[in-house]
């Protein structure tokens, strides 16, 4: 009876539970874009979906040849534990009138088990950032205000190269020439103080709404211009702001738009 018992004892380990697969690193890349008035922010998130920590994940963005440039070096996420993530952001600017942007990213990191170099890439993101063409369409001031409250917007202010009272009509004409309708206007003069402001509206071929409010003012001998720009589609903010600011600069004899 001893022999069968001995055979059973040695047979059990041979039929034991299967081995667990070795834990490994699994890096997922998640790209994203934010649209600002003077630049684009490209975000790259790396997420460790594996069971081992990964060190020194280097993120390198890649911008296709064209009007957009990226002056920042690659960035590194020092440590990514299991189920952790890290994000690097890169500022992209235009060196001329914006057109189509294509941006991607690649990552490199050492395998946590072998030290072997590993690489991965994110699919390219392509966005048309050309300045939209607009046509003048009148809307009531309260409708314009309501649309602006639901839009993406930006505000800019700069010193005027000439007196605000003389600059204001030139700014008005420049904005009207860009396919925008003047919705409302008011001027105020008192002593050495002047304030001229006007709101403009237009639609593109997709009937998306665009609006600009320009305020030229002179106070204490200094003349400034404030521009408030609103767009319905976030990706249109960069191109529309570029076109509006360029038109105003040309009208005032200022250098071209420099982001």
Condensed to tens digits (0 to 9), the pLDDT of residues 215-232 reads 999 999 999 999 999 999
Whether residue 157 is found in the same domain as residue 237: yes
CA distance 214 to 229: 9
The pLDDT confidence band at residue 196, using thresholds 50, 70 and 90, is very high
In tens, the pLDDT along 5-27 reads 332 223 334 444 454 444 667 89
Look at residues 254, 101, 90, 231 and name the one whose alpha carbon lies nearest to residue 170.
Answer: 254
Is 20 part of any domain?
no
In the sheet with 117-128, reading across from the earlier edge strand, the strands are 75-80, 54-63, 100-110, 117-128
Model confidence, pTM: 0.78
158's tokens: 């700069």
Q: How confident is the model at residue 129 (pLDDT cuts 50, 70, 90)?
A: very high
Predicted local confidence at residue 92, as pLDDT:
95
39 contact partners, CB below 8 Å, separation of at least 6: 91, 92, 93, 94, 238, 259
Residue 62 covered by a domain: yes
The answer to whether residues 28 and 107 touch, using CB atoms and an 8 Å cutoff, is no
pLDDT, one tens digit per residue, over 28-42 is 999 999 988 889 999
Question: Same domain for 141 and 117?
Answer: no
- DSSP 8-state symbol, 234: G
- Is 16 part of a structural domain of the chain? no
Of 128, 161, 180, at which residue does a domain stop? 128
Helices 164-177 and 237-252 pack at an angle, to 10 degrees, of: 130
**pLDDT on residue 72:** 92
Q: What pLDDT is attached to residue 6?
A: 30
pLDDT at 256 over 60: yes
**How many domains is the chain built from?**
2
Look at residues 66, 65, 63, 126 and name the one whose alpha carbon lies nearest to residue 91: 63
Instruction: Please check whether residues 149 and 120 belong to one and the same domain.
Output: no
Percentage above 70 pLDDT, the chain: 90
Which domain covers residue 241, as residue numbers?
Answer: 135-252
The residue among 63, 93, 128 that closes a domain is 128
Among 111, 128, 145, which residue terminates a domain?
128
Residue 71 pLDDT greater than 90, yes or no: no
Comparing 22-31, 139-148, 161-170, the range with the smallest average pLDDT is 22-31
Instruction: Find the CATH number of the domain harbouring 110.
Output: 2.60.40.10
End-to-end CA distance of the chain, in Å? Answer: 91
């Amino acid at each position: 009876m001893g022999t069968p018992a001995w055979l059973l004892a040695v047979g059990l380990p041979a039929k034991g539970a299967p081995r667990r697969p070795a834990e490994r690193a699994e890096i997922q890349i998640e790209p994203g874009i934010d649209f600002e008035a003077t630049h684009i922010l490209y975000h790259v998130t790396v997420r460790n979906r594996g069971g081992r920590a990964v060190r020194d994940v280097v993120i390198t963005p890649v911008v296709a040849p064209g009007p957009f440039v990226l002056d920042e070096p690659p960035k590194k996420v020092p440590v990514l534990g299991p189920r952790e993530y890290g994000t690097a952001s890169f500022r992209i600017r235009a060196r001329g009138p914006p057109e189509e942007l294509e941006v991607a990213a690649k990552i490199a990191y050492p395998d946590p088990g072998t030290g072997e170099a590993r690489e991965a890439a994110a699919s390219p993101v392509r966005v048309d950032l050309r300045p939209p063409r607009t046509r003048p369409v009148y809307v009531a001031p309260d409708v314009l205000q309501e649309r602006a409250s639901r839009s993406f917007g930006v505000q800019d202010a700069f010193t005027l190269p000439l007196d605000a009272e003389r600059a204001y009509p030139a700014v008005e004409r420049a904005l009207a020439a860009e396919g925008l309708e003047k919705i409302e206007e008011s001027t105020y003069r008192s002593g050495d103080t002047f304030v001229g402001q006007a709101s403009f509206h237009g639609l593109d071929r997709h009937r998306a709404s665009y609006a600009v409010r320009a305020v030229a003012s002179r106070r204490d001998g200094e003349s400034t211009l404030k521009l408030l720009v609103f767009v319905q589609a976030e990706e249109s903010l960069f191109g529309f702001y570029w076109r509006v600011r360029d038109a105003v600069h040309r009208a005032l004899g200022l250098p071209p738009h420099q982001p």
